[in-house]
């Protein structure tokens, strides 16, 4: 018997810290009534930046977002939760792993929508890179 069988039976749960929670609104939809992927990416970028600034304590800019796959559509009224975890801190950059999960009125468990990694760079007010003090 697998020693991890109890763990295997558990529903998957979000990884990382909850950085942003919002509700998907009608203004964020396409004509079919589903939420735009771009709106979701925007929420992830904001949430990841908050996480990155907790590390850099400077202004940050987004330099890279890796590939994303969307596992399910998002309906109006869903509670959208963005989770973030710092996976790497470089000289001037912070790589943050993001996950997005949704809850809808009748969903028994949160549902994972997507994940990606976003790289932020620490910059000064002029937009020049600034080493992160660690
Ligand atoms: C981010 C920016 C300041 C970096 O300037 P740069 O001259 O390329 O600086 P560097 O080459 O020293 O790179 C800085 C860090 O970013 C990392 N980086 C640069 N390009 C990257 C990429 N495509 N993927 C991952 N990391 C990257 C570098 O590895 C480096 O990390 P480290 O210092 O921790 O080792 C500059 O490219 C910029 O202003 N880009 C626009 C950012 C922006 O406006 N974003 C919002 C767009 S709407």
State the distance from the centre of ligand 1 to the C-alpha of 63, rounded, in angstroms: 5
> Which domain range does residue 111 map to?
15-123
pLDDT tens over the chain, length 134 residues:
344 444 556 778 999 999 999 999 999 998 888 899 999 999 999 999 999 999 999 999 999 999 999 999 999 999 999 999 999 999 999 999 999 999 988 778 999 999 999 999 999 999 999 999 98
Dihedrals φ, ψ of 5, to 5°?
-60, -35
Do the domain assignments include residue 34? Answer: yes
User: Which protein residue has the closest C-alpha to ligand 1 atom 44?
Assistant: 61
Which ligand 1 atom sits nearest the alpha carbon of residue 89? Answer: 34
Residues 6+ positions from 131 with CB-CB distance below 8 Å: 91, 92, 122
Split into its structural domains, the chain has a count of 1
Do the domain assignments include residue 3? Answer: no
pLDDT value for 9:
61
How deeply is 124 buried, as exposed, middle or buried, from its count of CB atoms within 10 A (0-12, 13-18, 19+)? exposed
* Both structure tokens of 51: 């996480």
pLDDT value for 77:
94
Does 92 sit in the ligand 1 pocket, CB within 6 Å?
A: yes
For the domain that residue 94 is a member of, what is the CATH number? Answer: 3.10.129.10
């Amino acid at each position: 018997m697998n020693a991890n069988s109890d763990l295997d039976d558990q529903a998957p749960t979000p990884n990382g810290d909850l950085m942003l929670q919002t509700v998907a609104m009608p203004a964020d939809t396409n004509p079919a009534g589903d939420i735009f992927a771009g709106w979701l990416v925007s929420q992830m970028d904001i949430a990841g930046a908050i996480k990155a600034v907790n590390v850099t304590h400077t202004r940050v800019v987004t330099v890279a977002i890796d590939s994303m796959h969307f596992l399910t559509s998002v309906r109006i009224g869903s509670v959208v939760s963005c989770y973030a975890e710092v996976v790497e801190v470089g000289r001037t950059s912070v790589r943050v792993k993001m996950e997005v999960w949704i809850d809808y009125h009748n969903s028994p468990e949160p549902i994972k929508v997507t994940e990606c990694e976003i790289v932020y760079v620490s910059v000064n007010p002029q937009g020049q890179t600034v080493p992160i003090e660690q």
